[in-house]
Structures are given as C-alpha cells and as structure tokens.
Structure 1
Amino acid sequence: MMSTRSYRLIWSRLLCHSHVKTKLRKKNSVLLAFSNVRYFRQPAAETHPHLISVGEVTPGLTVKEFYNRRCNLVRSALKAFQGVKSTEHHLFVFPSATTAYMSTDIPYVFRQNTDFLYLCGFQEPDSLLLIKAHSSSLQTGEHEAILFVLKKDPEKELWHGPVSGADGAAVLTGVDAAFNSNEVEKYLHYYIKNHKNYVLWYNHTQPVHADFNNRVVSQLMKDPRHKYLENTASLLHSLRVHKSTAELRLMQKSVDIAAEAFVDVMKFSKPMINESQLWAKMDFECRMRGAEFLAYPPVVAGGNRANTIHYITNNQVVLDGEMVLMDAGCELHGYASDLTRTWPVSGQFTKAQKQLYNATLRVQEECIKMCTKAYSLDEIYTKMLHLLGEELLLLGIISAHTPPPQQLNILRKICPHHVSHYLGMDVHDTSTISRGIKLQPNMVVTIEPGIYIPADDFSVAPEYRGIGIRIEDNILVSESEPVNLSASCPKQAEEIEDLLSSR
C-alpha cells in the first residue's frame, strides 16, 4: 500500500501543473482521507470535522467560492485594460499579515490581512499570494494562483505549533501551486525574465507586510518591464462590498452570536458594576458561542463617558441611575458583527433618559427603512440630521428660534459621527467605497444614530446633561425591504426594562 507521504508528494507535484487544477479541486477530499496527522495550522476537515466540511477552506466557504472570487478579481481588472493591446499579462500580489509582538517572544493574537484572506482563505502569517492572468481571460477570469508560505520546521513547530507547509497549503486552499516563502524572489525573477509590458497589481499605498514590501515587491515595482502599476485596494473593495450567499450566512451567524451575548450582558449588569466586567462578559459569551474573538476593542461607557464616541478605557464603575453604552461585536470565521445598545443598569430609564432614548430609536427606525436601492449612506445621514433636529426641537433641546445653519451646527455637535458604514470582513469594511453611491442588494451596512449631551453642556436643560445614547443594528440591503440582521437583540425601551426586571 502506498504511504501517506507518497500520496502527498504526488499531490504536490500535480499541483504545480495548472491544467489539472479543476480536477484537483474535486479531489481534495481524497487526500484528506489518507491523512491521519494534524497537518494544518488552521481548522481543516480532517482535524475539525465538527466545524468544517470536506471541500471547505474555512467553515462555510468552499474551495470553489475562493476560486470564483479570484476569477471575479481577474475579470474586473482586465475590464479596465480592455483594448490596451500592449498589456497582455497581469500579475497580482497579495501579502498576508505578519506576526506582531507585544514584547520579546510574546505575540499578539494573529489576524490575517483581509484582502489576502478573501482570495485564498489561508490563515498563516508571512505568506504571499500571486495571481497570474492573461488578457484572454477577460470573459472567464481564468488565472493561476500560487501561494508562498512558511517552510515546515520541526524545531519551530515544537514551540509554535504546526504549519501547513507548501504541499499542505496547496491542498487546503485549492490553489494551483505552493512553495516556501524563501523561493518567492527566485520565482518573480523567473516571471519578469519571461514577461514584459505586464501590469503589476499591488496595494503599494498601504503595504501590510514590511519585509515582503521592502525586500521583494519594491524591487518588482522598480522593474522597467512592467508597464503599469495599479492599486488593488478599490478593485478588491468593489468585490468585497457585495456579499455572496455563503458570506451572508456567516454574517448572520456572527450577528446572532453578538445579539445573544448582548442579552446576557444586559442581564449581568447592575449598579456599581465595572465596565471591565461587562467587557469580559461580552467576550466570554461571544467565545462560548463559537466566535474567535471580539471584532474590535468594545466601547463600554457608563454615564457621561458615553459622550466620548470611541471610549475604550472601560475601567470605571457604572453608578446607579446611569446608563451604559456598549458598542461591541464579534468575529466569526473572518466576518464581523457590530452592534450598539444603551440601557440603564438600574433596570429602569429615568424620564429624561427614556425621552432621549426613544427619540434616538425613532430616528434609527426611519433610517433603517431607507436602506434600499433608492438611497446612499450619505443621503441617509442627511435624513438622520433632519430627523434628529425634529426630535430635539420637540424636546426643547434646540430652540425653534435658532437659525437653520446654526441648528445644523448644533446637530453635528450632538451627533458628530456618520449614521453608517459598510460591514463585512472588516468592521469598517471596504473603506475605499464611497458612502455617496446608491446602496445595492447584498451590501451589509450599519445604522447607528446617536445623541450625545456632555455633562458640561450648560445650553441644555440639566436633566439631559451627561447622557450619551447610540443604537446600532446591522442591515442587509435586499431587492425589496431592508433586513435587520440584528433584530433579535432587544432595543425597545419596554423590552429592555422587561429583560432587566428578569435578572
């Protein structure tokens, strides 16, 4: 009987030939069946069958999904050069993240570079993805994908755990070939020797891996044989902003986890609790439900501290009679959620708190209705300011005698942030996509109006001072009505009071 090692060697050699890649994608499960060791650094079907299925690179996302993403990338890129006859070849360069250290030999939790992860699903540091394409692939998106990854080293793996190695990376991701990272310069030297007038695609304005950028890619950018240097950022973002069915399933799961965790955190809260305890509870509840970690450092702001928009110190006591504003979400298999809820730790809103809370909620619900193809995020923001103005006029916080330009300045001070951002693999996702474009189906956005009245704002009646409120939900734009992915997380004032009374 042929050994497992022999199967791997044959597989590795086959992967070097691009003409068999379609057949190899169908056969990934065959190799997995012959392997009986922990072979990858990230979850795989053979090591985590409870989490990931055969044929998936990451839970819920198949080899085919990643291949289609790369095809879409190639098609989009080649459209920009349609008719430019002197540029037949295109080379795309996507580095992974590297390991960052908090002190000597002590790493921070690793998080993969999003664009790299989107295109291949590989979760190891110090890797590089090359995608080669020809102008003839304009319609099909046909390409060759090559990964350069960390070399297997038993001594290092003793300390840091297994790495996939070149053959493992190729099998896991379904790329056409994989090599050790120290071979990338040799490979690129061979490429530029045999190609001229090619288009080099690389995010040179925001390099994510200093060593690859300085040692490898910067030399490539200086090469006179490439005719154009194009930034990949806006190209990738224009693809990532539209979510596939599989992505939407993962996003819904991420939001569900965060919503359920919020309920437990609300019930856990009480007067004199420390913000750090609420942070820890949120982290715990998200992880217990399967999330890898929180999607960002959460805002847990009691009382007047809620008027600091990105307050993340989270180390003060929340007093009886105060509200706590928590802005938190989790990351699940590469997809983020981002929710905000504000509630009274005593269990009951005061009259002034409830007035401002319900005003914020009414504004939010009207803005959510606008998450359709008819509007842009900037248009929803303009509407938010108008609606906030109406609410604050009714409460007397803004005087009806105040001239409109001055009213607008007051509103921008009371809510100094935008009403929305795109959401996906990153919390503030696809940052190069304008908030001025019309929304499109399968985009996911946040809707998060706020009212912030600092304790030292003596232009406002005393009962409203020191109150900060934000309510945030995650909204899927569809062909018809908006879908609130976080609808299960309580936000009506009465719902919250009922929930807190059950503690």
Structure 2
Amino acid sequence: MDDTQGTDDTEPVTQNRRQPFPAGFLATISEGWAPRDDVSPAPRDGAASAARRRDAVSAAFPGRRLVIPAGDLRQRSNDTDYPFRPHSAFAHLTGWGSDAEPGAVLVFEPRDGAGHDVTLYFRERADRTSPEFYANASIGEFWIGPRPALDAVAADLGIATAHVDAFRPGPDDLQVDRDPELTGFVSELRLVKDADEIAQLRLAVEATARGFDDIVRALPEAIAHRRGERVVEGVFHRRARQDGNAEGYDTIAASGAHACYLHWTRNDGAVEDGDLILIDAGVEVDSLYTADITRTLPVSGRFSPVQRRVYETVREAADAAFAAARPGVPFRTVHEAAMAVIAARVAEWGLLPVTAEEALDADRGGQHRRYMVHGTSHHLGLDVHDCAQARRDMYYDGLLEEGMVFTIEPGLYFQADDLTVPEELRGIGVRIEDDVLMTASGPVNLSAAIPRTADEVEEWVQRLRA
C-alpha cells in the first residue's frame, strides 16, 4: 500500500507521515483533465422492486420521519479500513449493493398530506479543484477511483438524491437499529422474497456451486499443504471475488475433528486422506444477496463405513425436514422433523440415557441436542441469517409462505473428547445444508445441483480430484 498521505479538512492526519504538497504541485494538479462523461444510466434491475418496498415502509409509518443509514467505513487497524458493506435494510430499500457509498442516508420525509418524499443523501464527489480529489486517501478519486455523481445515482436507483451535507437529523426521527418498531418492520419486510430477490439468490447459489467444484479440484493441493484448510478457504475466496462481491460470511473449512466445531473459521489445520472435511460457504453477489451451503466430503473420495452411517443419517434428517416444509405449516416444524430423525438414530446407537421419545420432550428432554446443538433452518437473503430482528411469532413461530427462502441444515457432531460416544465416532462431524425456496406446491432446493447423497458425493470427489 502506498505510504503517501496528504490531507484536507475531511481527513485526520498522522503528522509524522504527512508529506506536504509543494507550490508547483498545487498550482497544476487541478489542470489538464478531460471533461467527465457523466451519462445517466437506465434504472438497474430491482429498482422497481425497491420502490415497492419503500412504499410499504411509508404506508406503515404515516407522518413519521424515517432514517435508514448505510453505515460508515470501519477501522481495521491504524489507517486501514474493512471493505465497506452497507446495512442490509439500506440495500433492500434502495437497491444499492456493493457499489453503495459509505455515509449515505435514506430519509423518508413525511408529506403534509399523505406518504413520504424519499431522498438518498450521500457525499457528492469533489471536483478536481478541491483538495479532496488529490489529498484525501479515504475518499479522494485520485486515490480510490471514480465515485458516483448525484444525478447518475438518482437515475440508476430511481430515487431523488442530495448531498449528505444537506441532511439534518431530527429529534423525533425513527432510525433503523435505534427504533425497535422500525427495525423489526424492515426486517420482517424481507421474510418473503420477490422475484428480483429470488433471481439474485439463484445467482449466488450457482456461483457457490462453482466454488464447491473448485474446492474438490483443489483437494490434492490442500492435502499437500500443512494448512490445507487455508487452501480450501482461499480457493473459495477466489471464486467469490471472481463471480460475486465476496463471501457472505467467513468460510468454514473444517477438516477432521475440526468439523465438530460449529463455527470453525480459524481454518489453519491440515487436510488428510481418510478424514471428512466440512465446508460451509456462500458467495455474496454484487446485489449483496448470499448463498449459504454446506457439504461434508470424504477427502479420499470414499466414506468409511462409520462415516457413511453418520452422513446418511444427517441426509435422512434433511430429507425429513424437506418433507415437512409446506406452505402454511409453522417454520419450527422443519426443525422438529429433522430432530425427530436425529433423536431416533442416536437412541438406536445407544448414545442416549433415555428413549428418543423422552429426549424429544420439550420440557424434560433434549439429550440428543448434545450432538446437534444448532437449529435446522434460518431465513436467507441479504444477510446469511436474514430477518434476524423479526418478531418470534413472525419467524420461528410464523407460518411458511410462498416466496420465503431458508436453509435446511441438520448435522451430527461427535467431538474428539466426547466420552459419551464410541471411539469410532469421535472426531466425526457432518452437516448438509441446502438453500430452499418455498413455492405454492412445496419446497424447491435451489442448491440441488450440488451432490448430496453419499454415493453422489463420492462420485463427485473422485471425478474432480482425478
């Protein structure tokens, strides 16, 4: 990274690094530039859908001034920032995805009659006579490249725009993440996806499927490296950046006993023949919609008998969850169907001190949850755990509806030091996760093209590893 750092009044200065600009530079830097060709684009795909969402928010909060910030850059260390990613509610209501501007604010200004005037405020780019252009390493175009103009964004998104300096917060504003009612509403607004959102999720799943193929091809390289899990992570990162914006969440590349740690993202272990590797990964496309898919692979291309038994039990649980998912049934039914299979099988294997029926008792049971402590499903969309601020009676206790997109992801995890299970099971962790669209006729597995059964997975690994 270039160590040169100038300044203007918008950027704090680290004085011991500052290099002053000589008079000759200042006299000529604003001259000799070709005119900017600012062509207003046609509205992007999804702009009309975002407008309908704004209308729904406006109707729900008559007479109230609403503020939905995109958020700001966040410091990673010293004078470097994390990549910017706008707030999901902001992205949902504007249609502005990976190209959104830090510091932008979407404001619903109530009209005297009814409804709201909606304005998107953000920092207009400075012209080339301003010190911001050449001296501000955070936002100056000399440093980070072209930034969007107000008129172009207005045409692109179909929203009135204004410079952020004109925005003034008010004492009675309702702001996302500060007002519970507004925060809950914009979260629940995402429970049912429209056609544009579903199309974006399909793109994310397709890119993720290509990433899983990349991983399988790279298994020999992963085996050869002392940090083979990092090889897997890196291969998927390359696909996510090539075909999308980034990963939707930190990739889990958990080989061997690491697969028993539900959120293993350290990814610093070896990948060895004979082990299983659990990969939980999703590509986030430029619209910021993300996939969330897990596959557990035999590194050698063959499951051992005990690995196959655990794997197919998890698949049985997933299939039971699919069978239970229908429009009009409670969302929690999906989890209950999967857990019934998990409880029955671990009871058959002699792992429970009670019967499966007793373990499934809502008040006194739960012994089987030792081996699958997480839930089976969550909503999916702009966030990997989408709609998280929705009310319980709209989420876990809510009814499945056409247009909802959610995961089905049962698992079994027998940690290496768990003395309640036979030694042959210790260190085996399996999860199978698919992304599911609810339709009027039942669930559609968006990730069905990625092999799921033990036989299909073995064929897949052997074919692409060759």
Which TM bucket (shorter chain)?
0.7 to 0.9
Contact 1:39 1:163 in 2 (8 A): no
Question: Which of 174, 183, 191 is the aligned partner of 2:166?
Answer: 183
SS of the residue 1:241 aligns to:
coil
Deviation at 1:55?
2.0
The yes-or-no answer on 1:242 pairing with 2:242 is: no
Map of 1:405-484 to 2, 5 A cutoff? 405=359, 408-433=365-390, 434-484=395-445
Task: Give the distance between the partners of 1:401 and 1:116, measured in 2 at CA.
Answer: 49
1:372 aligned residue:
326
The yes-or-no answer on 1:90 pairing with 2:64 is: yes
Task: Give the distance between the partners of 1:395 and 1:448, measured in 2 at CA.
Answer: 22
Map of 1:258-407 to 2, 5 A cutoff? 258-270=208-220, 271-273=223-225, 274-288=228-242, 290-332=243-285, 333-398=287-352, 404-405=358-359
1:76 aligned residue:
60
Contact 1:372 1:481 in 2 (8 A): yes
2:46 aligned residue:
61
2:83 aligned residue:
109
1:83 aligned residue:
none
Task: Give the distance between the partners of 2:157 and 2:360, measured in 1 at CA.
Answer: 57
Task: Give the distance between the partners of 2:429 and 2:324, measured in 1 at CA.
Answer: 24
Task: Give the distance between the partners of 1:313 and 1:166, measured in 2 at CA.
Answer: 42
SS of the residue 1:124 aligns to:
coil
CA RMSD of aligned residues (A): 2.4
SS of the residue 1:336 aligns to:
coil
Seen in structure 2, the aligned counterparts of structure 1 residues 163 and 454 have a Cα distance that, compared at 3 Å, is same
SS of the residue 2:424 aligns to:
helix
SS of the residue 2:439 aligns to:
coil
Seen in structure 2, the aligned counterparts of structure 1 residues 501 and 438 have a Cα distance that, compared at 3 Å, is same
Show structure 2 runs of 5+ residues with no match: 1-34, 127-132, 135-139
Task: Give the distance between the partners of 1:368 and 1:135, measured in 2 at CA.
Answer: 50
Task: Give the distance between the partners of 1:74 and 1:149, measured in 2 at CA.
Answer: 21
Task: Give the distance between the partners of 2:73 and 2:355, measured in 1 at CA.
Answer: 58
Moved more, 365-374 or 318-327: 365-374
Task: Please give the TM-score of this superposition, normalised by the length of structure 2.
Answer: 0.81
Contact 1:379 1:436 in 2 (8 A): no
SS of the residue 2:198 aligns to:
helix
Contact 1:339 1:473 in 2 (8 A): yes
Task: Give the distance between the partners of 2:188 and 2:319, measured in 1 at CA.
Answer: 28
Map of 1:147-186 to 2, 5 A cutoff? 147-153=120-126, 154-155=133-134, 156-176=140-160, 178-185=161-168
Deviations 1:69-111 (A, max 9, x none): 1111112334xxxxxxxxxx22111111211222233222111
SS of the residue 2:442 aligns to:
coil
Deviations 1:97-136 (A, max 9, x none): 2112222332221111111111113310011111123485
Seen in structure 2, the aligned counterparts of structure 1 residues 230 and 266 have a Cα distance that, compared at 3 Å, is closer
Deviation at 1:399?
6.0
Deviation at 1:230?
6.3
Contact 2:69 2:176 in 1 (8 A): no
2:175 aligned residue:
202
Show structure 1 runs of 5+ residues with no match: 1-35, 46-53, 79-88, 193-198, 206-228
Higher helix share: 1
Contact 1:367 1:384 in 2 (8 A): yes
Task: Give the distance between the partners of 2:356 and 2:409, measured in 1 at CA.
Answer: 26
Deviation at 1:411?
1.1
Deviation at 1:424?
0.4
Contact 1:304 1:454 in 2 (8 A): yes
Deviation at 1:371?
2.1
Task: Please give the TM-score of this superposition, normalised by the length of structure 1.
Answer: 0.76
2:105 aligned residue:
128
SS of the residue 1:172 aligns to:
helix
Contact 2:259 2:278 in 1 (8 A): yes
Deviations 1:310-365 (A, max 9, x none): 01000110222110001000101210100000011111100000000000001101
SS of the residue 1:477 aligns to:
strand
Contact 2:435 2:445 in 1 (8 A): yes
2:403 partner amino acid: N
Task: Give the distance between the partners of 2:283 and 2:95, measured in 1 at CA.
Answer: 19
SS of the residue 1:468 aligns to:
strand
Seen in structure 2, the aligned counterparts of structure 1 residues 374 and 129 have a Cα distance that, compared at 3 Å, is closer
Contact 1:272 1:320 in 2 (8 A): no
Contact 2:347 2:356 in 1 (8 A): no
Contact 2:326 2:443 in 1 (8 A): yes
Corresponding residue pairs, total: 405
Task: Give the distance between the partners of 1:292 and 1:321, measured in 2 at CA.
Answer: 34
Seen in structure 2, the aligned counterparts of structure 1 residues 66 and 409 have a Cα distance that, compared at 3 Å, is closer
Contact 1:201 1:230 in 2 (8 A): no
Contact 1:157 1:163 in 2 (8 A): yes
Contact 1:200 1:230 in 2 (8 A): no
SS of the residue 1:240 aligns to:
coil
Contact 1:241 1:443 in 2 (8 A): yes
